[in-house]
């Protein structure tokens, strides 16, 4: 680990789970700055403590994890959101990723996987599960099947190849071997698929806001 | 418990139409009585005219009770109704003078009262019933008068037209009531499902997740228990997350939930965020094939092998891949097994995919795992 411990904030509405994860991360040397049990306090606390990584559950009692993700990633440049959610909340996960989350991990992931995912998120690598890759692939194809619009982001052939292999469970290393690419290039392709999706989402939101006269102030 | 509102809704849907038909009969009865009163003294048989009106009044009361009181109106009763109405029409031949019947155009005894029975036929049996009842009444109209002219033909058009239009209204409201009932059932099922999912998510899953985490850290026997808890956790999550397995009534089904339920702690299933609709039979068959492929992983790939199922919707093509990271199959073994005529997994999967009009490829190498890719073409279909 680097000279400074990675600072983390855990957002989950279940105290058992939230405190358990916070303790696990602290034991593994992360600097757990704060925890939050709902979306509004998550945004408020994140502003105050500015953690490197926010572990975000999407299934929050009050407010939506997707909106909290959008606000945190929009406001705090140094903070990245990693969605840690029950598997299968498909559209939520996709929405959170489009709103700016840097990756997604299922709650059934092991402690090592969580450790690795938080570290990677802090260093700016996208954290993809096979499930997320399947969702992102599906989203690009859905957009491509829609009305033709030059603003619609598209995957390059290489990016499609990479995402399909991620969705089939191959690690970045295995993908690099199979496609004869460097490990770094594979990571860049994966990140690029996310970034295009997020950029498009921001443009769409702005366009929607202008068309509907909502561009004055963000809702509180 | 989920209520079954279907029957009640269908029955209630026709209630207003039945009420309207009864009201129509009462009003037309008054009109008929008025016409008889106006012509009283000019008929061939005045007494019989009033007897006919009496019969019509009694029958109006009987039918009102029957049609408003019954949950289900019997076809035979409506036919009896029609027969009685036509019989009263026939009575006109005895009541009216020949001149009244042919030259003066005096109305028949029941006058427009008979339109009520056309409405009854239409409400009971839809467009066909309405049209047939209207035609029968019109036929008796011709028969009793004994000639054909423009006025009687206008009556025919009106009677058949009324039967057709009311019948259409009846069929339409029956259909929309059925659709409403289906929607209500689906909604009730979804609400129940969501309630269950929330409960499971809030209680069982949280505890299982914690047991798995903590047990793994403690090691030893606790780790074994953690392993068990973890397996149940993943299976339960997949079950709770999967959409209902219902087809949408048009013979099409979303393939995603059928594959999602196959997820376990060793098998991951990745699907798009929007439904992948294929014909019901293809969905069932594909789910079976994937299950077969996963069972094959269980048997041959080794105890720690993991597998990934990927569902892709390319619009004109649906692609399902099943990859495992197990020991793989030595080159030629699959082909050899096939040549020997053994019904191996390859034969079975290939045959079934061919029946669906698709293609299947298998890539494998020792220590490299195996990867099935099933492609089903759907020309003219669009993604999502």
> In this structure, what CATH number is given to the domain that contains residue A176?
1.10.10.10
The pLDDT, as a whole number, for residue B2 is 41
Whether residue A86 and residue B265 make contact (CB cut-off 8 A), yes or no, is no
Interface list for B 323-342 with A (CB within 8 A) = 323, 325
Which of B376, B377, B274, B380 lies closest to A141 in space, CA to CA?
Answer: B274
Whether residue B274 and residue A138 make contact (CB cut-off 8 A), yes or no, is yes
Q: At residue A88, does pLDDT exceed 60?
A: no
Whether residue B214 and residue A137 make contact (CB cut-off 8 A), yes or no, is no
Q: Are A62 and A12 within one domain?
A: yes
A88 versus B6: which is more confidently predicted?
A: A88
Residue B86 in contact with residue B136, Cβ under 8 Å?
yes
- Is A151 domain-assigned? yes
Strand A31-36 and strand A7-11: pairing?
Answer: parallel
In the listed set B156, B181, B206, which residue is the last one of a domain according to the structure? B181
Q: Are B66 and B151 within one domain?
A: yes
- Is A220 domain-assigned? no
Q: Are A64 and A89 within one domain?
A: yes
Distance CA A195, CA A187 (A): 12
Q: Are A25 and A104 within one domain?
A: yes
Task: Average the pLDDT over A137-162 and give the result.
Answer: 88
Q: Are A121 and A138 within one domain?
A: no
Distance CA A72, CA B229 (A): 34
Chain A: closest CA distance from residue B323 (Å): 6
Nearest to A169 among B206, B238, B268 (CB): B268
Chain B: closest CA distance from residue A11 (Å): 15
The whole-number mean pLDDT for each consecutive block of 10 residues of chain B, a chain of 384 residues, reads: 46 84 94 92 90 94 91 91 93 88 86 93 93 94 89 91 93 87 80 74 77 83 85 75 60 84 83 88 88 81 86 92 82 60 63 86 76 86 60
Whole-model pTM?
Answer: 0.62
Distance CA A32, CA A218 (A): 30
Give the domain extent around B159. Answer: 6-181
Whether residue B273 and residue A90 make contact (CB cut-off 8 A), yes or no, is yes
The most distant pair of C-alpha atoms in chain B lies apart, rounded to whole Å, by 111
In the listed set B151, B181, B211, which residue is the last one of a domain according to the structure? B181
The pLDDT, as a whole number, for residue B233 is 78
In the listed set A85, A109, A127, which residue is the last one of a domain according to the structure? A127
- Is A116 domain-assigned? yes
Q: Are A166 and A101 within one domain?
A: no
Chain B: closest CA distance from residue A3 (Å): 27
Q: Mean pLDDT, chain A, as a whole number? A: 86
Residue A80 in contact with residue A73, Cβ under 8 Å?
yes
Q: Are B265 and B349 within one domain?
A: yes
User: SS3 sequence, chain B?
Assistant: CCCCCHHHHHHHHHHHHHHHHHHHHHHHHHHHHHHHHHHCCCCCCHHHHHHHHHHHHHHHHHHHHHHHHCCCCCHHHHHHHHHHHHHHHHHHHHHCCHHHHHCCCCCCCCHHHHHHHHHHHHHHHHHHHHHHHHHHHHHHHHHHHCCCCHHHHHHHHHHHHHHHHHHHHHHHHHHHHHHHHHHHHHHHHHHHHHHHHHHHHHHHHHHHHHHHHHHHHHCCHHHHHHHHHHHHHHHHHHHHHCCCCCCCCCCEEEHHHHHHCCCCCCEEEECCCCCCEEEHHHHHHHHHHHHHHHHHHHHHCCCCCCEEEEEEECCCEEEEEEEECCCCCCCCHHHHHHHCCCCCHHHHHHHHHHHCCCEEEEEECCCCCEEEEEEEECCCCCCC
Contacts of B42 (CB under 8 A, 6+ apart): B97, B100, B106
Distance CA B316, CA B379 (A): 5
Closest chain A residue to B322 measured between Cα atoms?
A: A168
Distance CA B263, CA B23 (A): 61
The pLDDT, as a whole number, for residue A217 is 55
Whether residue A87 and residue B241 make contact (CB cut-off 8 A), yes or no, is yes
Whether residue A130 and residue B270 make contact (CB cut-off 8 A), yes or no, is yes
- Give phi and psi for B379, each to the nearest 5: -60, 140
Distance CA B276, CA A99 (A): 24
**Sign, CA torsion B300/B301/B302/B304:** negative
B92-113 burial: b if 16+ Cβ within 10 Å, else e: bbebbeeebbeeeebbbbbbbb
Nearest to A17 among B209, B240, B241 (CB): B209
Q: Are A140 and A45 within one domain?
A: no
Q: Count of domains in chain B?
A: 2
DSSP string, A63-123: S-HHHHHHHHHHH-TT-EEEEEE-TT-HHHHHHHHHTT--EEEETT--HHHHHHHHHHHHH
- Is B288 domain-assigned? yes
Q: Which residues of B touch A141 (CB under 8 A)?
A: 272, 312-315, 383-384
- Is A60 domain-assigned? yes
- Is B152 domain-assigned? yes
Strand B307-313 and strand B252-254: pairing?
Answer: unpaired
Q: How far is CA A29 from CA A24, A49, B217, B256, in A?
A: 9, 18, 16, 40
- Give phi and psi for B310, each to the nearest 5: -125, 125
**Partner A contacted by B155 (CB < 8 A):** no
- Is B226 domain-assigned? no
Residue A56 in contact with residue A96, Cβ under 8 Å?
yes
Residue B300 in contact with residue B333, Cβ under 8 Å?
no
Chain segment A117-143, per-residue pLDDT in tens: 999 999 888 888 888 899 999 999 988
Distance CA A170, CA B371 (A): 12
Q: Which residues of A touch B268 (CB under 8 A)?
A: 129-131, 169
Which spans in chain A are helix H? 15-27, 39-49, 65-75, 90-98, 111-123, 130-145, 157-167, 172-179, 183-211
Interface list for B 264-323 with A (CB within 8 A) = 265, 268-274, 306-308, 310-315, 321, 323
In the listed set B152, B181, B210, which residue is the last one of a domain according to the structure? B181
Whether residue A108 and residue B234 make contact (CB cut-off 8 A), yes or no, is yes
Give the domain extent around A146. Answer: 132-211
Closest chain A residue to B205 measured between Cα atoms?
A: A86
Residue A193 in contact with residue A199, Cβ under 8 Å?
no
Whether residue B273 and residue A168 make contact (CB cut-off 8 A), yes or no, is no
Q: Count of domains in chain A?
A: 2
Q: Are A71 and A150 within one domain?
A: no
Q: How confident is the model at residue A156 (pLDDT cuts 50, 70, 90)?
A: very high
Q: Which residues of B touch A24 (CB under 8 A)?
A: 213
- Is B171 domain-assigned? yes
Chain A: closest CA distance from residue B382 (Å): 7
Q: Are B279 and B147 within one domain?
A: no
Whether residue B206 and residue A130 make contact (CB cut-off 8 A), yes or no, is no
The pLDDT, as a whole number, for residue B335 is 63
Structure tokens given for B48: 């019989």
> In this structure, what CATH number is given to the domain that contains residue B252?
3.30.565.10
Whether residue A142 and residue B274 make contact (CB cut-off 8 A), yes or no, is yes
Q: Would you tell me the crossing angle of helices B75-95 and B46-69 to the nearest 10 degrees?
A: 170
Distance CA B261, CA B236 (A): 9
Nearest to B272 among A59, A107, A138 (CB): A138
The pLDDT, as a whole number, for residue B343 is 44
Q: Are B37 and B140 within one domain?
A: yes
Q: Which residues of A touch B367 (CB under 8 A)?
A: none
Distance CA A66, CA A44 (A): 15
Best of B207, B213, B214 to disrupt the A interface (most A CBs within 10 Å) is B213
Q: Which residues of A touch B210 (CB under 8 A)?
A: 16-17, 20
**Sign, CA torsion B334/B338/B341/B342:** positive
Q: Which residues of B touch A14 (CB under 8 A)?
A: 202, 206
Interface list for B 186-205 with A (CB within 8 A) = 201-202, 205
């Amino acid at each position: 680990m680097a000279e400074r411990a990675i600072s983390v904030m855990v957002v989950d509405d279940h105290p058992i789970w939230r405190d358990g994860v916070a303790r696990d991360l602290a034991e593994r040397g992360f600097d757990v700055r704060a925890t939050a049990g709902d979306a509004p306090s998550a945004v408020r606390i994140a502003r105050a403590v500015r953690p490197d990584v926010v572990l975000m559950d999407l299934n929050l009692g009050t407010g939506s994890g997707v909106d909290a993700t959008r606000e945190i990633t929009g406001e705090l440049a140094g903070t990245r959101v990693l969605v840690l959610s029950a598997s299968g909340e498909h559209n939520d996960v996709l929405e959170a990723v489009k709103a700016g989350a840097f990756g997604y991990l299922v709650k059934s992931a092991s402690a090592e996987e969580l450790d690795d995912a938080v570290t990677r998120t802090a260093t700016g690598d996208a954290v993809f599960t096979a499930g997320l890759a399947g969702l992102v692939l599906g989203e690009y194809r859905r957009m491509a099947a829609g009305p033709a619009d030059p603003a619609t982001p598209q995957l390059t052939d290489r990016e499609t190849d990479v995402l399909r292999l991620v969705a089939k469970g191959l690690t970045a290393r295995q993908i690099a071997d199979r496609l004869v690419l460097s490990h770094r290039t594979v990571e860049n392709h994966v990140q690029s698929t996310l970034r295009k999706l997020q950029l498009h989402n921001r443009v769409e939101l702005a366009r929607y806001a202008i068309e509907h006269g909502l561009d004055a102030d963000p809702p509180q | 418990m989920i209520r079954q509102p279907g029957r009640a809704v269908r029955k209630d849907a026709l209630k207003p139409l039945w009420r309207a038909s009864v009201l129509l009969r009462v009003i037309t009865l008054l009109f008929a009585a008025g016409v008889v009163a106006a012509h009283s003294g000019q008929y061939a048989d005045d007494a019989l005219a009033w007897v006919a009106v009496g019969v019509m009044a009694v029958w109006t009361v009987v039918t009102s009770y029957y049609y408003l009181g019954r949950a289900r109106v019997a076809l035979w009763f409506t036919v009896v109704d029609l027969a009685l109405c036509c019989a009263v029409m026939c009575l006109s031949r005895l009541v009216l003078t020949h001149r009244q019947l042919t030259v003066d155009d005096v109305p028949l005894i029941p006058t427009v009262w008979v339109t009520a029975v056309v409405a009854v036929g239409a409400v009971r049996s839809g467009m066909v019933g309405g049209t047939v009842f209207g035609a029968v009444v019109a036929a008796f109209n011709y028969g009793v008068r004994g000639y054909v002219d423009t006025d009687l033909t206008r009556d025919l058009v009106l009677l058949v037209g009324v039967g057709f239009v009311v019948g259409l209204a009846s069929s339409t409201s029956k259909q929309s009531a059925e659709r409403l009932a289906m929607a209500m059932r689906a909604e009730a099922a979804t609400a129940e499902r969501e309630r269950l999912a929330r409960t499971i998510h809030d209680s069982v899953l949280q505890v299982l997740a914690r047991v798995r985490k903590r047990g793994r850290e403690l090691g030893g026997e606790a780790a074994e228990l953690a392993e068990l808890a973890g397996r149940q956790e993943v299976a339960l999550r997949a079950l709770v997350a999967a959409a209902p397995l219902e087809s949408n009534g048009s013979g099409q089904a979303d393939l995603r939930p059928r594959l999602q339920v196959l997820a376990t702690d060793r098998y991951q299933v990745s699907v798009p965020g929007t439904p992948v609709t294929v014909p019901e039979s293809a969905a069932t068959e594909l789910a079976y094939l994937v299950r077969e492929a996963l069972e094959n992983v269980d048997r041959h790939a080794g105890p720690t092998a993991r597998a990934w199922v990927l569902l892709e919707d390319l619009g004109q093509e649906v692609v399902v891949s099943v990859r495992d990271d197990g020991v793989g199959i030595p080159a030629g073994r699959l082909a050899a097994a096939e040549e020997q005529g053994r019904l191996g997994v390859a034969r079975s999967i290939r045959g079934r995919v061919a029946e669906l009009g698709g293609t299947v490829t298998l890539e494998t190498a020792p220590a490299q795992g195996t990867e099935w890719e099933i492609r089903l073409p759907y020309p003219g279909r669009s993604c999502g």
